[in-house]
Amino acid sequence: YLLRSYIAGLPREIMESARIDGASDFEIFVKIVLPLSFPVLASFAIFQFLWVWNDLLVAMVFLGTEGDQIVLTAKLNALLGSRGGDWEILTTSAFITIVVPLIVFFSLQRYFVRGLLAGSVKGG
CA distances (Å), origin 16, targets 8, 10, 24, 98, 120: 14, 12, 11, 45, 24
State the virtual CA torsion across 108, 110, 112, 118 in degrees, nearest 10: -140
Q: Sketch the domain layout of the chain as residue ranges.
A: 2-120
Phi, psi of 78 (to 5 degrees): -70, -30
Of 67 and 31, more confident: 31
115, 43 contact by CB (below 8 A):
yes
pLDDT band for position 60 (cuts 50, 70, 90): low
Q: Is 62's pLDDT higher than 60? A: yes
Residues 14 and 28: their CA atoms lie apart, in Å, by 9
9 DSSP assignment: T
Q: What is the pLDDT of residues 89-116, one digit of tens each?
A: 778 877 887 888 888 888 877 776 665 5
pTM reported for the whole predicted model: 0.55
